């Protein structure tokens, strides 16, 4: 009897303690983010210092849009921050964002990095570039089309084709050259693979270091992260084994993806949230925010850090990211159709 009571009481007691302890501790601006909080916090701190407004974040990955949609009018979310244009577009498609017009952020961020309806805004850019072996690759210039040529047979490594960064790149390719050309291109990439797609972008650099492949697709900032990794100095060796080549489309420009922000549809603190959006697009914040992750600021005229400048000159593609995002479903299907993730066909 007592034991049973004890278990029941303990269970209920602990649960209610938990409920009380976690009761919404919301702030002046509440952020649902799929960008890692530690890459946002310094810039949020600067915002709090400037304005006295407090912020709170939750890191949510898959299902961020579904959560806001399910929470409906009671959702505490003011801002949505993500690291991929596809996720921003998905939030817009799910109807959990609202337009922002006539604000500083509309002016500061170039049009191609904003949603056509101003439902989301890019904040920083990262190039999707080629990591190439310093020892085994002579060239310093490549087009995206080149990657599918026979020259690279058995020499290319990438992460899964279904990863959002590769999806966005293929979607950009579709926007440039059409779906059929993109399918042919992805087929060419697949035939050039040295191994089945696996791991993350860093693992591709590691594979070049290990001699498993000679070129790989990766985001620019990982190079900075590896080159400065004091805790795992072996990653400096990986970074040293590779050079960054900025591949281009026919327009001579390189595909970039963004980290960005959107105003939640039912934002309870709309005014404060817009203040933060404007702040994030300001000179001060752009500099901090980009440097935190070795990225490129989107507001024109802000300098990149020396390390990022060392990757070479990035000439970001100027086709609209909302157009790119509209092709992501086709891109995802192409990956399946050519069985990209099954690796080289032999």
Q: Which residues define the annotated binding site?
A: 221-222
Number of residues that bind another protein (CB under 8 A): 81
Q: How far is the CB of 314 from another protein (least distance, A)?
A: 20
Q: Which of 164, 192, 272, 322 binds another protein (CB under 8 A)?
A: 164
- Total residue count of the chain as it appears in this document: 346
Give exposure, 25-61, as e/b (b: 16+ Cβ within 10 Å).
eebbbbbbbbbeeebbeebbebbbeeeebebebeebe
Beta carbon nearer to another protein, 112 or 341:
341
Binding another protein by CB under 8 A: which of 57, 82, 192, 322? 57
Residue 344 CA, chain-centre distance (Å), reads 27
Q: Where are the beta strands (DSSP E) in the chain?
A: 29-33, 55-59, 79-82, 97-98, 121-133, 156-157, 215-219, 242-245, 256-264, 296-297
Name the one range near another protein by CB under 8 A: 71-79, 172-180, 256-264, 270-278: 71-79
The 3-state DSSP class for residue 223 equals: helix
Q: Which two tokens stand for residue 94?
A: 């799910």
Per rule CB under 8 A, is residue 201 in the interface with another protein?
A: yes
Q: Can you tell me whether residue 79 is helix, strand or coil?
A: strand
Q: How far is the CB of 261 from another protein (least distance, A)?
A: 18
Q: Are residues 284 and 124 in contact, defined by beta-carbon separation less than 8 angstroms?
A: no
Binding residue (CB under 8 A) for another protein from 42, 67, 187, 236: 67
| 261-320: contacts with another protein (CB under 8 A) | none
Alpha-carbon distance 118 to 249, whole Å? 26
Q: For another protein, which is the closer residue by CB, 30 or 114?
A: 30
Contact between 346 and another protein (CB under 8 A)? no
Task: Please identify which residue in 142, 148, 242, 331 interacts with another protein, judged by CB under 8 A.
Answer: 331
Residue 336 binds another protein (CB under 8 A): yes
Residue 180, interface with another protein (CB under 8 A)? Answer: no
Q: In terms of CB distance, is 255 or 328 closer to another protein?
A: 328
């Amino acid at each position: 009897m007592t034991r049973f009571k004890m278990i029941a009481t303990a269970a209920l007691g602990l649960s209610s303690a938990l409920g009380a302890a976690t009761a919404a501790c919301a702030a002046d601006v509440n952020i649902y983010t799929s960008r890692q909080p530690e890459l946002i916090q310094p810039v949020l701190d600067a915002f709090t210092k400037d304005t006295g407004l407090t912020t709170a974040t939750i890191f949510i990955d898959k299902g961020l849009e579904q959560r806001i949609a399910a929470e409906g009018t009671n959702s505490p979310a003011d801002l949505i921050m993500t690291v991929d244009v596809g996720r921003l577009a998905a939030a817009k498609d799910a109807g959990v964002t609202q337009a922002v017009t006539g604000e500083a952020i509309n002016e500061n961020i170039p049009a191609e990095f904003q949603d056509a309806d101003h439902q989301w805004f890019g904040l920083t850019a990262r190039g999707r570039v080629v990591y190439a072996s310093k020892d085994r690759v002579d060239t310093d210039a490549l087009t995206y089309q080149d990657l599918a040529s026979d020259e690279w047979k058995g020499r290319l490594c990438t992460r899964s084709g279904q990863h959002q960064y590769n999806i966005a790149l293929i979607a950009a390719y579709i926007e440039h050259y059409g779906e059929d050309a993109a399918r042919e291109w992805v087929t060419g990439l697949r035939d050039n693979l040295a191994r089945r797609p696996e791991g993350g972008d860093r693992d591709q650099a590691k594979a070049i270091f290990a001699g498993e492949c000679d070129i790989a697709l990766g985001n620019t900032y990982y190079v900075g992260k590896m080159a400065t990794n004091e805790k795992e100095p072996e990653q400096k060796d990986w970074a040293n084994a590779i050079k960054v080549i900025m591949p281009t489309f026919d327009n001579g420009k390189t595909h970039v993806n963004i980290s960005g922000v959107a105003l939640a549809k039912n934002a309870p603190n709309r005014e404060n949230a817009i203040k933060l959006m404007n702040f994030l697009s300001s000179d001060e914040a752009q500099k901090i925010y980009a440097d935190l992750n070795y990225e490129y600021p989107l507001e024109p005229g802000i300098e990149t850090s020396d390390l990022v400048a060392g990757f070479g000159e990035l000439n970001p593609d100027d086709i609209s990211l909302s157009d790119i995002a509209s092709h992501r479903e086709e891109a995802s299907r192409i990956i399946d159709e050519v069985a990209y993730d099954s690796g080289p066909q032999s």
